[in-house]
Amino acid sequence: MESTIDTGTTAWILVSASLVLLMTPALALFYGGMTRSKSVLNMMMMSYGAMGVVGVIYVLWGWSMSYSSDSVMGIFGNPFTHFGLAGTITDSAGEYIVSGGLPTVVDVGFQVTFAIITVALISGAIADRARFGTWLVFAGLWATFAYFPMAHMVWGGGLLSGDGPFASIAEPIDFAGGTVVHINAGVAALVLALVLGVRKGFGKSPMRPHNLPLVMTGAGLLWFGWFGFNAGSAYAADGG
């Protein structure tokens, strides 16, 4: 109920969500500065496009696939249980649904920023080699069939979680996305790079970064946003 909301924790998660969301435009600057001038707009729009596509599908079925208690073989949550955040924001009495002092809708806002930055990370591996429209399709499909299931398996009580069938043997230590974000995006980026191959003219013509100030600005903003990425994952502002 509303009276059980921990205002300090809620405020901190809202701040952390804002910091993590900042990381995606920062990544756009970083990647955009690293590419040749002819590709900078496409490169930056890949990050911004991920914000749009993943933001929409996360609300529609991403949250449900990641954190629904109605699990499908421990691999992903039922996408229809909380489709469109149904039964997630308020209860039948119109009061906020709260877990651990945090309104669930705030948790949704925090988690969607993780999904967005994970998809955006992949784009750097295909600089100069993908059309924007094709990237948008890939972003939606990869988030649906790779990110959401992995988030469910590790964070949402699925196969690889502390509540899963393998917990007695081993469970991942994933405080802020080591598996769900970084390994997941890294493997996808490697596969895409291998499938698409090298850029045209690679090794024959210079492919220097066109704007190092953009790279440094993006790196600084990523560094700043990481405080929300890591510290926000504690889900508390109690000093514990």
DSSP secondary structure, 195-240, as one string: HH-SPTTTTTS----S-HHHHHHHHHHHHHHHHHHHHGGG---S--
**Assessment of whether the complete model's pTM goes beyond 0.95:** no
What pLDDT is stored for residue 3 in this prediction?
54
* pLDDT value, residue 240: 59
Q: How many CB atoms lie within 10 A of CB 81?
A: 18
DSSP state of 34: H
What pLDDT does 1 receive? 45
Sorted by sequence, the CB contacts under 8 Å of residue 80 that are 6+ apart come out as: 61, 64
Rounded CA-CA distance 122/105 in Å is 27
- Residues of the chain with confidence (pLDDT) below 50: 1-2
Give domain limits for the chain.
Answer: 7-199+210-230
Third-level CATH fold of 7-199+210-230: Ammonium transporter fold (1.10.3430)
103: tokens are 């309104």
Q: SS3 for 98?
A: strand
Of 4, 113, 3, the closest CA to residue 59 belongs to: 113
